[in-house]
Amino acid sequence: MEGPALVSWMTAAGCGATGAFCLLHARHKDAPRQRTADGAMGLGMALMALPSGVPAPPPETLAVLFAGLALWPLPGLPRGHRAHHTTEALAMVYMALSMASATGAHAAHGNGLGVPVITWALLAYYAVHLVRSGPRLVPATAQGSPRGSPGDAPCATSGVTAACRTSLSLGMLAMLLTM
């Protein structure tokens, strides 16, 4: 990932932690396939976000990994999440191929024409996704009492799933901005 090393490391740490959390809790009964898909995406994004100069898999290998995630059948997932997962994976394929074709610091942006339309479209998509998913992170209240009971497992709520998706979208936005 281009840009300041601190941003790269923070993005890699956030995506890696989210991916590991999702994979560790994939056994949970509320959304195992969804968490496995989000976990694989998070760990792949962490590899992609590593600062340039740090040993990492070649961009071509990452492109194949993310293409596989885009084609991964996710039966039982809601259509919206499946579409978001596919968009996320294809965006990572796009970034990996851009990295592979880059010969200079910003050669992936084209022939001096600025940022490609695809990058702008993806930036808009993830910005809108973050704005829409933010309210899902605030606990809903029913007559003044918080949702769930104090003894509920933290993984049992859909809020954790929304937080994972929001974290990965924030990582995507950071990576797109530094492209």
CA distances from 130 to 26, 66, 159, 168 (A): 23, 21, 14, 10
Read off the pLDDT of residues 18-47 as tens digits, 9 standing for 90 and up. Answer: 888 888 877 766 666 677 778 888 888 898
Say if 149 falls within a structural domain: no
Whether 1 contacts 173, CB under 8 Å: no
Q: Examine residue 67 and state whether it is found in any structural domain, yes or no.
A: yes
End-to-end CA distance of the chain: 7
Asked, for residue 44, whether it belongs to a domain, the answer is yes
The verdict on residue 145 lying in a domain is no
Taking only the tens place, the pLDDT of each residue in 145-165 is: 455 444 444 444 566 777 788
Long-range own/partner contacts, residues 147-154 (CB < 8 A, 24 or more apart): 153/28
The reply to whether 143 falls in a domain is no
More confident residue, 84 or 135: 84
What pLDDT does 123 receive?
93
Domain span at residue 132 reads 5-138+154-177
Q: Which residue has the higher pLDDT, 13 or 37?
A: 13
In angstroms, rounded to a whole number, what is the distance separating the alpha carbons of residues 50 and 59? 12
pLDDT score, position 154: 45
Neighbour tally for 55: CB within 10 Å: 5
**Is 144 within the bounds of a domain?**
no
If pLDDT is split at 50, 70 and 90, which confidence band does 114 have?
A: low
When divided into structural domains, the chain yields a total of: 1
For the chain, the helix, strand and coil percentages under 3-state DSSP, each to the nearest 5 = 70, 0, 30
Residue 29 confidence (pLDDT): 62
pLDDT of residue 158: 61
For residue 102, being part of any structural domain is answered with yes
* Contact in structure between 97 and 58 (CB atoms under 8 Å): no
Question: Is 147 within the bounds of a domain?
Answer: no
